A = this chain, B = another copy of it.
Amino acid sequence: MTLTNISNVRDYIKNNGEFVNRILDRYLPPAEQDPSTLHSAMRYSVLAPGKRLRPLLALSSYEYCGGKTEGEDIPIHFAMAALEMVHTYSLIHDDLPCMDDDDLRRGIPTCHKKFGEAEAVLTGDALHDVAFHLMAQTGSTQACMELAEALGTNGMIGGQCADVEAEGRDITKEEVINIHTRKTGALIRCSVRLGAILAQADKDLLERLTVYGEKIGLAFQIIDDILDVEGNSELLGKNVGSDSKKKKATYPGVVGIDQARKDANKLIEDAVACFDKFDNNILKDLAIYIGQRNK
């Protein structure tokens, strides 16, 4: 499968990624404002270089559903920033010594390494909170609920909990799919859905994009597992080989690396198949991009 237009998707990611950075900068409290350590830590973790995949998925889904992008501080902007902030909050808490105990993230020391453990807990909490403040500014309680569900015990936190509990023991393919679907998949699915919801997509379109979001969400985490085995630490901005060191439940650990690659490709194909063959669009390209990513 090839990208319909490789330079097109690269440009989209680059230009809109820069736009995401600008709104994140605008919606984060200034570092010099009290409590400045906390605000500095929030900015340090959120503004570190990232793919901005979740905001980009929300935006492209929103545009695909005909949402209007004119104007500043419109609901989709709030949702995009909220998605990146909750993603960052989850990384900060997952990296804590009592969780995954990671030192490196997005190419820089993790939040607790830089600011200490207490500040890192509070920084994650504060970002979690700012995210809901932003979501409320969309004016849509449905959108707020959507995010809360994706983050909750049926979604991301439930997946992280199952992940911690699965460490060091043998698990089945079904279990690892269940963990990945919740831990990573739920928020990616939610990003796509939020774009559609804020663009007031009809039920059929929302359901089709939900399937797309589920497929790329699982594919994304399988590829994350593969990159932890085969990837380049410098490109990834985090240590590789840490999953096997921690005896983490990984997809290639259960089915082997070749099968993992095949299954990820099949998920990307399924995601692309959510659109008509002749319907060339950014969501389709983003799916293929996810399938081919090396960072």
Interface segment, A139-147, A221-229, A279-287? A139-147
- By the criterion CB–CB under 8 Å, are A125 and B157 in contact? yes
A171 vs chain B, min Cβ distance (A) = 14
Distance A139 CA – B152 CA, assembled complex (angstroms): 19
> For A34, what are the chain B residues with a Cβ–Cβ distance below 8 Å?
158, 162
Interface segment, A47-55, A116-124, A257-265, A270-278? A116-124
Given A148-B129, A149-B133, A38 contacting B161 (CB threshold 8 A): yes
- By the criterion CB–CB under 8 Å, are A132 and B148 in contact? yes
Interface segment, A93-101, A102-110, A193-201, A204-212? A93-101
A83 at the interface (CB under 8 A from B): no
- By the criterion CB–CB under 8 Å, are A119 and B161 in contact? yes
- By the criterion CB–CB under 8 Å, are B37 and A161 in contact? yes
> For A144, what are the chain B residues with a Cβ–Cβ distance below 8 Å?
132-133, 135-136, 141, 144
A29 at the interface (CB under 8 A from B): yes
> For A42, what are the chain B residues with a Cβ–Cβ distance below 8 Å?
153
Nearest B-chain residue to A133, judged by Cβ:
B148
A35 at the interface (CB under 8 A from B): yes
Nearest B-chain residue to A135, judged by Cβ:
B144
- By the criterion CB–CB under 8 Å, are A145 and B153 in contact? no
- By the criterion CB–CB under 8 Å, are B121 and A121 in contact? yes
A151 at the interface (CB under 8 A from B): yes
Nearest B-chain residue to A93, judged by Cβ:
B121
A160 at the interface (CB under 8 A from B): yes
A164 vs chain B, min Cβ distance (A) = 5
Given A122-B161, A128-B125, A145 contacting B152 (CB threshold 8 A): no
> For A292, what are the chain B residues with a Cβ–Cβ distance below 8 Å?
none
A236 at the interface (CB under 8 A from B): no
A170 at the interface (CB under 8 A from B): no
A162 vs chain B, min Cβ distance (A) = 6
- By the criterion CB–CB under 8 Å, are A157 and B136 in contact? no
Contact with B along A6-42 (1 / 0, CB 8 A): 0000000000000000000000010000110111001
A137 at the interface (CB under 8 A from B): yes
